Amino acid sequence: MNKSGSGFSLVSFVLLFMVLMASLAIVAGFFASWHPALDSFSHLRVYLSVLMGAGSLGLLFTQYRREALLALVFAIGSFATTRDTMNGAMLPIADMPHAEHTSYSLLQLNLLFNHPEPRALLQLLAKEQPDIITLQEVSSHWLPWIDILQGSYPYQKICKDYPGSWGVAILSKRPFEGGQDGVCVGDGILALANINMGGTILTVGAVHLSWPWPFKQPMQMDYITPSLKQLDGTLILSGDFNATPWSAVMRNIAQLTGTYLVPGFGATWLTNMLPSSWVKVLGLQIDNMLISGDVMVLQAETLQADDFDHLPLLLRFTLPVMPSPSDEVPETGIVASLRSDILTSPQKQY
Residue environment code for 62-71, b if the CB has 16+ CB neighbours within 10 A, otherwise e: bebeebbeeb
Residue 248 CB partners (closer than 8 Å, separation 6+)? 32, 33, 36, 38, 39, 42
Residue 208 contacts residue 185 (beta carbons within 8 Å):
no
Task: Characterize 247-275 residue by residue with b for buried, 16 or more Cβ atoms within 10 angstroms of its Cβ, and e for exposed.
Answer: bbbbbbbbebbebbbbbbbbbbbbeeeee
Q: Which of 39, 70, 38 is nearest to 253 (CA)?
A: 39
Q: How far is CA 216 from CA 6, 65, 242, in A?
A: 47, 43, 11
Q: Which CATH number applies to 85-344: 3.60.10.10, 3.90.180.10, 3.40.50.300, 3.40.50.11810?
A: 3.60.10.10
Break the chain into its structural domains and give their ranges: 2-82, 85-344
Cβ atoms of 135 and 143 closer than 8 Å? no
Give the Cα separation of 303 and 322 in Å (integer): 27
pLDDT at 179: 74
Per-residue pLDDT of the chain (350 residues; tens, 9 = 90+): 444 555 568 888 889 999 999 999 999 999 999 999 999 999 999 999 999 999 999 998 888 889 899 999 999 999 998 876 434 444 555 554 444 678 999 999 999 888 888 898 999 999 999 999 999 999 999 999 999 999 999 999 999 888 778 899 999 999 999 777 899 998 899 999 999 998 899 999 999 999 999 999 999 999 999 999 999 999 999 999 999 999 999 999 999 999 999 988 988 998 777 777 788 888 899 999 999 999 999 999 999 877 788 999 999 999 986 545 455 554 444 444 444 443 444 433 33
85-92, long-range: CB < 8 A, 24+ apart: 85/263, 87/245, 87/246, 87/261, 87/263, 88/260, 88/261, 88/262, 88/263, 88/264, 90/260, 91/260, 91/261, 91/262, 91/263, 91/291, 91/297, 92/260, 92/293, 92/294, 92/295, 92/296, 92/297
Residue 340's pLDDT is 43
- The DSSP output letter for 162 is S
Q: Report the predicted TM-score, pTM, of the whole model to 2 decimal places.
A: 0.84
